[in-house]
Amino acid sequence: MVTEVSLAKDTEAKLWDEIVENSPHGTIFHTWRWLKITEKYTKFQFYPLLIRTGDEVRGIFPIFHRSHLFISMIFSPPPHAAIPCLGPVIVDYEKQRLYKKELILTELQGAIDEYLHWQLKSNYVSIAFSPGLNDPRPFGWAGYRVSSAYDYETDLSCGSEIMWEQLPKNLRQNVNRAVKRGLSVEIGTERDVDALYEIMVRRYKEQDKFVHVPKEYLLDLYRSFDGSMRIFVAKFEGNVISGSIELFHKDKVTSWIGTPKPLINISPSPNDLISWEIIKYSIERKFRSYTTFGAAGDERLHAYYASKFNPELKMRYIVKKISFIARIAEKGFYHILNPVSDRIRR
């Protein structure tokens, strides 16, 4: 039977979310609501692809498409949407033997490639798989360039007391000193999302950088994911000086956005206290792991994050297939156009 790709309709949103919920590699970023909000705030069109063999649904694949000049771009996830990973979610993938897994992924990859090529005439495809979908070989065999990305995951099962004892001494000191100094961490509100965003914009500006994620996007997500999204803010003398937005999905906590360096000069930094309070909160609510996306791949930041909560290094994959013309355009965008437009915006 042939594996086919079709667009999911709004009426199939429930089926979509069930697939995400039941798959260990389905993330909060894959949920229908999240993706629809993302579409609203990016210049990409969302294609919720459903993959079927006959009547059987084999998986979902959210892609974002945009054509610009002669480049037809496919992203999963789209850029500037604060989504670290997306890619396909395959039904019952983890239950299969290797032979079957390869077969499923190869069929799925073939069907997707055909859709992208014939329906969307793509010449730039970038897919970042979610953790757990750890076999990019079928994409490599089909001519995609495979690279690895790394994240830190801390196991929370030992409980907060043992974890506290195992923390590096300087981290424990930072937390204790922050409390003595009068810093406090609390769960914030929508207003605090706004405040944190402003701190981040100013902090980025100090570093000659630009926040690409729109504030309205964060606020919209915050309103829509009440319950799965929490903002933790550090306050000093009644003012928000830093914060972090966390995602609680299934049995995992994801450190999503935040912990900028405070704009005021304060020692110790409130960020260790924020992280520790989030971990305590997560342990109390029986979450299994705490993930920090991205930091592990940053040569400047990795050492700080690796030393904090003795995390495990986790690998995931990014696959790209880019035509010669699109590659030149990509280089032009990243090396010329993007820096120039950032400079103008500043």
Partner 1 sequence: MTLNFIQADESIKREWDEFVVSSPHGTIFHTWSWLKIVEDHTRMKYLPLIAYRGADPVALYPIFIRKVAIFNTAYSPPPGAYLLYLGPVIIDYHLKKQDKKESVFKELQEEIDRYLFENLRCKYARIRLSPGLSDSRPLRWCGYTPDPLYTYRINLSSGTEAVWQQFDRKLRVGINRAIKEGITVREGSKNDLMLIEDDLLRRRKEQGIKSPDHSKYLMDLFDKYKENMIIFLAYHQEKIVGNLVALKFKDIMYLWIGTPKSSLRGIYPNDLVQWEAIQRACRDGLHWFENMDGGDNPRLTVYKSKYNPEPVIWFSAEKYSSFLYKAGVKIIRRSSSN
* Binding residues vs partner 1 (CB under 8 A): 97-99, 102, 106, 135-138, 140-141, 146-148, 150, 152, 296-297, 299, 302-303, 306-307, 310-313, 315, 317
**C-beta of 187 vs 315, nearer to partner 1:** 315
**C-beta of 69 vs 98, nearer to partner 1:** 98
Helix, strand, coil abundance in the chain, percent, nearest 5: 40, 30, 30
CB of 303 to partner 1, least distance (A): 6
CB of 102 to partner 1, least distance (A): 5
Distance CA(51)–CA(197), nearest Å, equals 38
**DSSP string covering 24-41, please?**
TT--GGGSHHHHHHHHHH
Could you report how far apart the first and last alpha carbons of the chain are, in Å?
A: 55
Instruction: Classify 118 as helix, strand or coil.
Output: helix
**C-beta of 168 vs 339, nearer to partner 1:** 168
Residue with tokens 């935040």: 258
CB of 94 to partner 1, least distance (A): 13
**C-beta of 102 vs 198, nearer to partner 1:** 102
Query: What 8-state DSSP symbol labels residue 266?
Result: -
CB of 318 to partner 1, least distance (A): 11
CB of 133 to partner 1, least distance (A): 13
Q: Which two tokens stand for residue 323?
A: 């035509």
**C-beta of 54 vs 297, nearer to partner 1:** 297
Question: For residue 3, how many other CB atoms are within 10 A of its CB?
Answer: 20
Q: 76 to each of 81, 220, 267, 270, how far by Cα in Å?
A: 11, 20, 40, 34
CB of 174 to partner 1, least distance (A): 16
Q: Which of 257, 318, 317, 260 is nearest to 292 (CA)?
A: 257
Q: Which two tokens stand for residue 112?
A: 């997707």
Distance CA(168)–CA(171), nearest Å, equals 5
